[in-house]
Each structure stands twice: as C-alpha cells, then as structure tokens.
C-alpha cells in the first residue's frame, strides 16, 4: 500500500514512454490577448499549399467527348499512331480546336496523346483559321495551368509556343489574356527544376 504523499509524488513524474514537453512555452492562437502573456508561444499559421496539384474544375470533358465519338481522331492498331477520320484542313476549328485544348489537362494515355497530337496537327495545318479561335482557347489553357501538375504545365507551355508560331498576329492577340494566363506561371518563376 502506497501512502498519499508517495502517490502525489508519482503523479508529478513523467511516464517512462511519454514525450518530453517544454513547460516554458504554452501554445496559444495568434492575434489574441493570450499571445502577450508570459510563457506563451504563438501557434504558427497554416500552410497555404500554393504548389499543391489541383484537379481541373471542368472534369474530364475531353475524355467524355472522345468516348462519345465527337472527336474525328483514332488510334491506329499498329505502331500506336494517331489517325484522323476526316481531313484536318476541312475541320471546323471553332468547334474542334477548343475541344482538343480541353485535353491539355489529361495525364492518362491515350487521351493525353490524342489531345497533344490533335492540337499539333490542327496548329500545323490551321493557318488563318486559328486566329478567330483564340478567345475560346484561353479558358482551357488557364485550367491546364491551374492544375499545377508539372507534366501538364510543360506540355501546355509547349502548346503555347506552337500556337504563337502557328500564324501571324497570334502572339499579339494573346496579350489581352496575359492576366488570365500568367498568374499561375508567376508562382513557378523561382523554381529552378526542369
């Protein structure tokens, strides 16, 4: 049997498996009166996760359009190449080019391959048909950049380079949309990785 005094002394001792706590500092929330009291430490702010990858808002529109058969593109059985069901020069660029740009968010094959190859072929053969479509392309480009997925962002930047080189005055036509495209890139300007 243990006396009351011995029992109280054992309560003051830490348990053998317990973590050591710093009794000189009590954690309190920031911007309160408690923060001015002696022996307190301010709770750090939560992390903002600015570089966290985000799912695209619109979901997988490109995937849905491909499964419905709305896209005039297919995968060849041999070689894994992409073939067109219709002539690229005769396509309605106002309808199909924004659809393919929605596929920039895709990370899974074959959808990623279809989107990138479709954009490449349409920009290569588009000529003057691309310029009127630029306002429709801004939102898919912005959504692709907002995913903050490095692979998606790199492919989107390559597509932007190809878009600017695809025709005259396209680079100048993108200037009013810089406010929508550049903020996400501003986050990554200090990143040095390739």
- Write b or e for each residue in 119-141: b if 16 or more Cβ atoms lie within 10 A of its Cβ, otherwise e: bbbbbebbeebbeebbeebbbbb
Question: Is 17 or 87 the better-scoring residue by pLDDT?
Answer: 87
What rounded mean pLDDT belongs to the chain? 85
In whole angstroms, give the CA distance from residue 60 to residue 136.
17
If you average pLDDT over residues 61-66, what whole number do you get? Answer: 87
Specify the pLDDT at position 45.
82
Map out the domains of the chain as residue ranges.
61-187
The predicted structure's pLDDT at residue 14? 66
pLDDT digits (tens, 9 = 90+) for 19-39: 665 567 888 888 888 888 888
pLDDT score at 178: 92
**Res 188 pLDDT > 70:** yes
Check whether 7 has a pLDDT greater than 90. Answer: no
Q: Quick check: 69 pLDDT over 80?
A: yes
DSSP conformation class of 94: H
Q: What is the pLDDT of residues 107-145, one digit of tens each?
A: 888 888 999 999 999 999 988 889 999 999 999 999 999
Specify the pLDDT at position 193. Answer: 61
What is the spatial distance between Cα 84 and Cα 72, in angstroms, rounded to a whole number?
6
Contact 121, 69 (CB under 8 A): no
Ranges 18-32, 64-78, 164-178: which has the least confidence: 18-32
Per-residue pLDDT at 175? 93
pLDDT at 148 over 80: yes
Most confident among 36-45, 95-104, 183-192 (mean pLDDT):
95-104
Q: What is the pLDDT of residue 174?
A: 92
């Amino acid at each position: 049997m243990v006396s009351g005094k011995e029992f109280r002394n054992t309560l003051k001792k830490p348990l053998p498996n317990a973590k050591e706590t710093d009794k000189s500092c009590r954690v309190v929330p920031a911007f309160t009166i408690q923060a001015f009291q002696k022996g307190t430490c301010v709770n750090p702010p939560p992390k903002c996760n600015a570089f966290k990858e985000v799912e695209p808002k619109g979901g997988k529109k490109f995937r849905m359009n491909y499964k419905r058969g709305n896209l005039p593109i297919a995968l060849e059985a041999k070689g894994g190449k992409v073939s067109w069901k219709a002539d690229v020069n005769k396509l309605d660029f106002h309808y199909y080019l924004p659809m393919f740009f929605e596929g920039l968010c895709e990370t899974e094959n074959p959808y990623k391959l279809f989107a990138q190859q479709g954009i490449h072929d349409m920009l290569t053969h588009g000529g003057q048909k691309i310029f009127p479509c630029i306002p429709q392309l801004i939102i898919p480009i912005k959504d692709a950049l907002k995913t903050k997925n490095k692979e998606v962002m790199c492919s989107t930047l390559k597509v932007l380079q190809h878009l600017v080189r695809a025709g005259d005055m396209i680079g100048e036509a993108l200037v009013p949309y810089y406010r929508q495209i550049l903020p996400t890139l501003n986050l990554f300007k200090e990143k040095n990785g390739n």
